[in-house]
Amino acid sequence: MQHISVNSPTLVAGGASSLPEYQRPLSFYGLAPSDDITIEEFENFSFQRLEMLRKIESKATRGLTSEEESKKLADELRNVFNLSTPEGRRQDVISHHTLRLAFSAPDRRSWFVKMESDLLSLRLRFGGDVKQFIESNGMHMEPVSRSNFATLASDLDAVRAQLSAADQKMVRVPLTPDAVSKVPFAEASELVWKRSVLLRDGYAYVFNALLLPVIISRYRLALRRGLQAASNQVPTIQDSHTQLGSLFGALQKYDPGANYEPSGGTVDLASLDMLAKRSFPLCMRYLKGVMDTDHKLKHWGRQQYGLFLKGIGITLPDALQYWQSHFTRVMSDKDFDRNYAYNIRYNYGKEGKRTDWSPYSCSAILNMQPPVASDDRHGCPFRELSATQLTGMVTAELESANLPDAKERIEEVTSLAARNHYQLACKALWEASRPVPTHSPDGGAELREKPAVTHPNEYFDAAEAYRKALEVEREVGGVMPVAVDETM
RNA sequence: GGCGGC
DNA sequence: GCCGCCAACATA
Ligand code: SF4
């Protein structure tokens, strides 16, 4: 059996599980394993952990995040690595560090960080001890002095009164200075979001009973640093241990998040449906709809939509495959190659004068040859669609976001369009389902601050940025702000 | 879609 | 019939 070690000097004294990295049941995994680990162990442990993370993901994507579901999940996960035994802790640490290496590439980090932080959160919530975790890991939480506390006490009481019932139960009633910590604003974003903290001078005053999100926030930061470091180690490790290469290869194939997180500037074809639904401007959503039903698009529609797709990060091979797969449903492969493939490559700067053409702006789109043929689908729907069609599309889009004020929003959008304010209508639609977050950073502010949409890709980018800003909250179990209309 | 070449 | 090359810019 082939023994290998991640760290070069191997030390084994009195059994591996007495090593410092295996002492605490829960940690930020700051210490890498230093004992001998067999290939089989690497494989078994890391695949078991990957299974755990995938379970967490699948629960989350199916929306099973209630207290009961979370508890069930936590119980299930406890059976994978038994953290109350030294060997279970060893397996936990080894598997974590193996996956760090496998998920260290920049475009694979987010998924791993999210799942690992969910895992730690579950473990601490069900069966863990936050206070003990903080102590045993030497985490520093800045205490509040007696005199400072005196000035905050009444405000803290007010905050406590607003807590959810469950949280309120956790905070002991006569508040004392040692029941509160002073935390940098950024580390308490989820609590700020839920208005569970008192804000003063750029700091958040957090009830110690509710410190979990702060821990998770620090964990995410530490983990991101660790992944950065791990990515530097990967080449060395793969050089000295070729056996690990195939393990990493296998682990990569198991990455479930790879094709749904549009990261690293390129976008996977598989995520197109999802992206269209959540972030395409109306014109592009419309063109995509035509592609999905008719599998063809006339020339200017291809230009408008194709360049937009390039702009959001569809690669040339994917673009060729995308158009080909649709067009060949209504024509031969040969016809597609002869008449359309060249133009797609040309738009990507791979033919002729090799210019990387930029996607059309709104004014370019508004200014194109008007669609005359009955099957011309290009242009701006706010101008080209009949009032009935437009209302239908806008309604469909806003209904899926189920807003309290959908009626008014639809009316606002369609009446702007009727007055020929197409780009204003477009922006009103963007805003309708994207209320300004009260606390979290306003992703998409670039667009919100402008009066009108000026570019379809700007619409898309701002929509994605908005989503991403909210994601920060959701990663630590926060609330979506669509439900955040509580004006108080 | 237009222009151009054979 | 075969093929290559190009491209828009007011919309408060
Ligand atoms: S305003 Fe611009 S982005 Fe919006 S639908 Fe019209 S062309 Fe597309």
Q: In 10 A of CB A247, how many CB atoms?
A: 18
Q: Buried (b) or exposed (e) across A353-371, using 16+ Cβ within 10 A?
A: eeeeeebbebeebbebeeb
Span CA (A366) to C1' (C1), Å:
36
**pLDDT at residue number A362:** 94
Gap between the Cα atoms of A183 and A96, Å rounded: 28
Q: Token pair for residue A465? A: 């940025």
Q: Can you tell me the distance from the alpha carbon of A95 to that of A22, in angstroms, rounded to the nearest whole number?
A: 12
Residue A170 CB neighbour total at 10 angstroms: 13
Q: Are the CB atoms for A95 and A81 separated by under 8 Å?
A: yes
Q: What is the distance between the alpha carbons of residues A29 and A133, in angstroms, rounded to a whole number?
A: 13
* Cβ proximity of A447 and A464 under 8 Å: no
CB-based contacts with strand C under 7 Å? A 299, 303, 338, 342-343, 346-347, 351-353, 355, 357-358, 360-364, 366-368, 420-424, 450-452, 454
Q: How far apart are CA A320 and CA A346, in angstroms?
A: 11
pLDDT of residue A63: 57
Tell me the CA–centroid distance for residue A246 and ligand 1, in Å: 47
pLDDT along chain A (488 residues), means of 10: 42 63 91 87 90 83 75 94 93 94 83 92 93 92 94 94 90 91 91 89 93 94 93 83 77 54 69 93 98 97 97 95 97 97 97 94 94 95 97 92 90 96 96 85 86 92 86 51 39
- In this prediction, residue A62 carries a pLDDT of 59
- Ligand 1 contact, A283 CB (< 6 A): yes
Question: Are β-strands A198-200 and A203-207 bridged in parallel, bridged antiparallel, or unpaired?
Answer: antiparallel
Is residue A305 within 6 Å of ligand 1 at its C-beta? no
A383 CB neighbours strand B below 7 A = no
Q: How many residues does chain A have?
A: 488
User: Is A112 near ligand 1, meaning CB less than 6 Å away?
Assistant: no
| Residue A136 one-letter amino acid | S
Query: Residue whose CA is closest, atom 5 of ligand 1?
Result: A283
Q: What pLDDT shows up at residue A264?
A: 46
Residue whose CA is at the smallest distance from ligand 1 atom 2: A362
A346/C11 CA-to-C1' distance in Å? 30
Residue nearest to nucleotide C10 (CA to C1'): A363
Contact A458, A447 (CB under 8 A): yes
The per-residue pLDDT for A473 is 55
CB A429 within 8 A of CB A410: no
What the block records as the tokens of A263 is 């990261």
- For ligand 1, is residue A365 a contact (CB within 6 Å)? yes
Q: How far is the CA of A408 from the centre of ligand 1 (A)?
A: 21
Inter-residue contact A377 to A371 (CB < 8 Å):
yes
Q: Are strands A203-207 and A180-184 parallel, antiparallel or unpaired?
A: antiparallel
Which protein residue's Cα is closest to nucleotide C9 at C1'? Answer: A364
- Encode chain A in three state secondary structure: CCEECCCCCCCCCCCHHHCHHHCCCCCCCCCCCCCCEEHHHHHHHHHHHHHHHHHHHHHHHCCCCCHHHHHHHHHHHHCCCCCCCHHHHHHHHHHHHHHHHHCCCHHHHHHHHHHHHHHHHHHHHCCCCHHHHHHHCCCCCEECCHHHHHHHHHHHHHHHHHCCHHHHHHCCCCCCHHHEEEEEHHHHHHHHHCCCCEEECCEEEEEHHHCHHHHHHHHHHHHHHHHHHHHHHHHHHHHHCHHHHHHHHHHHHCCCCCCCCCCCCCCCHHHHHHHHHHHCCHHHHHHHHHHHHHCCCCHHHHHHHHHHHHHHCCCHHHHHHHHHHHHCCCCCHHHHHHHHHHHHHHHCCCCCCCCCCCCCCHHHHHHCCCCCCCCCCCCCHHHHCCHHHHHHHHHHHHHCCCCCCHHHHHHHHHHHHHCCCHHHHHHHHHHHCCCCCCCCCCCCHHHHCCCCCCCHHHHHHHHHHHHHHHHHHHHCCCCCHHHCCCCC
Rg of chain A, C-alpha, whole Å = 27
CA angle A204, A209, A214 (to 5 degrees): 45
pLDDT at A65: 74
Which of A389, A414, A422 for a ligand 1 pocket mutation test, highest count of atoms within 8 Å of Cβ?
A422
Do the Cβ atoms of A37 and A90 come closer than 8 Å? no
CA A21 – CA A153 distance, rounded (Å): 40
Non-local (6+) Cβ contacts of A249 within 8 A are none
Whether the complex's predicted ipTM surpasses the cut of 0.95? yes
Distances in Å between the alpha carbon of A303 and those of A28, A31, A285, A341?
50, 53, 15, 13
Residue carrying structure tokens 């760290």: A7
Tokens of A87: 């060997």
Tokens (6 digits) for A48: 């078991």
How high is the pLDDT of residue A472?
A: 60
Report the separation in Å between the CA atom of A383 and the middle of ligand 1, taken as the mean of its atom positions: 9
